[in-house]
Structure 1
């Protein structure tokens, strides 16, 4: 079976690779193949068109596709909260939305509307904070052109820390924005026709992510040296990323778990921000039964 990754073959997906090399998929009778994503690849499209049985997608992208009529089902999530954050220097940290005032913050074009809405909801006026276009790396922050940089607390945060730059990460959840990172999706038809395979895949993936969290150095080495040897990855950065992301992956309900109530809160926030036109009912497309079966061994 083919799984469409939401991005490149990096340590953020190390749990899948761990499950593969440790034989957890083989134990379920599954030969799993993982296709790398990229900036021009939407995982939900690959799943919806039958090129992949499962995939992980940006939560907002998945919800917009569902609103547009795609018959997608959300089964789980890689990150319990999105690693996307405002990264600032530890010597001059941005610790709340109120700290935006008087600052210049670099954000991507895609996230500008969201951060403008967050600022407005906190009572900040248009002139209180200056948003500029973010570059591909956080050098704007290290050269102090900006006070904050919208990036990933995992990979980009790890890279800065290894450069000796002490940072502070203000996650979306810290800003009052509920979030998941890389939700795992399939289609209703796939789930109906391939439920046993999908349950087996999720059961093995749970074991893989638990293994990675217990052995971050080992799985970072696996990703760098065997999974993506031509990717130009830095072992120290991937190892630090694996350690940082552990807290974002773990959940009292188990790794990969997704909660219908939280998803509804995410939907409501996106409707308020104007990203979604109409309210969706999370219970209509969030299926927790697959993970429940995977966790119980049924």
Structure 2
């Protein structure tokens, strides 16, 4: 059964071309790795046990990362004796490269980018995920909705170049004919001008942008099309996981609380991200709407930030099938749930 749904209002800037099915290039230094407060050498702690964790965000400081900001604002990191440094990403920054090179202890990146890097021998480990379902979707007008793969027939669909191979494979497997794929522009005007019936983009960005402009839209997520997905997986290296396991547990425990708080208080955190955390240019109303919209994508019956090795294996197998991964991987070699399990301690919520 499809989970196609309408989007609510709100918008924020988001990476213009989502690298969901392939890895890009480019890197920007993000500063040191894991250091003690007071300028001690990396890997140490201050005299009172406070540890500085440097985290490389996969994109800008927007509401999709509001859970981290909530954990800072509400003192959850401080309670774990952790001082955090969150470095914003950008169009030429791949967070996994910052982590693999030792410039950050942890961070988040696109699921496929991480898997492609892991297949090339990078010792990356996924230990959680912000979005339990990737926000990447086919967006259409509610008056002429695309609710399943069969609705692609006879349509023009604007897709990112990186995702075209995946969508072509989907329509071929489903036996859907007469589909015209065109390159997706940097904003969803192709949909509003009638150049395309469907537009591939981030539901938490382009879909809510259209809704705010008064365009009622329908959102068809990848998982509605049978493509398993995560969005913004939490990443570290194998060495960091082995050497700083307890530190990552402390960091994740506070981060879990921050995401739970944001989901329970989207208006508060969305507004604060716009006015306090971001450097400027955001509208509080937009960030509040985004925080409200993304709640369902973050929530999970087992708790926020979960990652399931069995689901990751399905993702890997799908990427091998369409040629994005040149070789198969064992999810057990890429995913480690021990940090999550230790952070939750058998619970499904840390605030309730």
What's 1:240 paired with?
Answer: 289
Q: Determine the C-alpha separation between the residues in 2 that align with 1:29 and 1:297.
A: 22
Does the aligned pair in 2 maintain the 1:223–1:229 contact within 8 Å?
Answer: no
Q: Which residue of 1 aligns with 2:26?
A: none
2:260 pairs with 1:181: no
Kindly indicate whether the alpha-carbon contact (under 8 Å) linking 2:55 and 2:106 is maintained by their aligned counterparts in 1. Answer: yes
Offset at 1:296? 1.1
The residue correspondences of 1:99-178 to structure 2 (distance < 5 A) are 99-125=151-177, 128-178=178-228
2:309 maps to 260
Structure 1 stretch 156-165 or stretch 259-268: which is displaced more? 156-165
Matches of 1:30 and 1:282, distance apart in 2: 30
- Between the aligned partners of 1:211 and 1:155, the Cα distance in structure 2 is 22
TM-superposed deviation, 1:234:
2.2
Q: Deviations over 1:172-221 (max 9, x none)?
A: 00000000001101001111111111111100000000000001011111
Query: Are 1:275 and 2:327 counterparts?
Result: no
Gap runs ≥5 in structure 2:
1-52, 348-352
Q: CA deviation at 1:121?
A: 1.4
Measured in 2, the distance between the counterparts of 1:121 and 1:236 equals 42
How far did 1:131 drift? 1.0
User: In the TM superposition, what is the alpha-carbon distance from 1:120 to its structure 2 partner?
Assistant: 1.4
Q: Does 1:49 pair with 2:101? A: yes
Assess if the C-alpha contact under 8 Å between 1:5 and 1:36 holds in 2. Answer: yes
- State the shift of 1:46 in Å: 0.2
| CA-CA distance at 1:45 after TM superposition | 0.4
d(CA) in 2 for partners of 1:177 and 1:171?
Answer: 9
Distance 2:338 2:306 in 1: 10
Contact 1:155 1:237 in 2 (8 A): no
Q: TM-score, normalised by structure 2?
A: 0.82
Q: Partner residue of 1:70?
A: 122
The counterpart of 1:35, out of the listed 83, 87, 103, is: 87
More helix by share: 1
Runs of 4+ in 1 over 3 A off after TM superposition: none
Partner residue, 2:333: 284
Deviations along 1:92-132, one digit per CA (max 9) or x if unpaired, are 0000011011111111111111111111111134xx11111
1:190 aligns to what?
Answer: 240
Aligned match of 1:215:
265
Q: Which residue of 2 aligns with 1:293?
A: 342
In structure 2, distance between residues paired with 1:53 and 1:229: 23
Distance 2:60 2:184 in 1: 20
**CA root-mean-square deviation:** 1.2
TM-superposed CA distance for 1:142, in Å, is 1.2
Q: In the aligned structure 1, how far is the partner of 2:189 from the partner of 2:199?
A: 9
Partners in 2 of 1:115 and 1:166 — Cα distance? 24
Work out whether residues 155 and 238 of structure 1, in 8 Å CA contact, stay in contact via their aligned partners in 2: no
Counterpart pick for 1:86 among 123, 138, 150 = 138
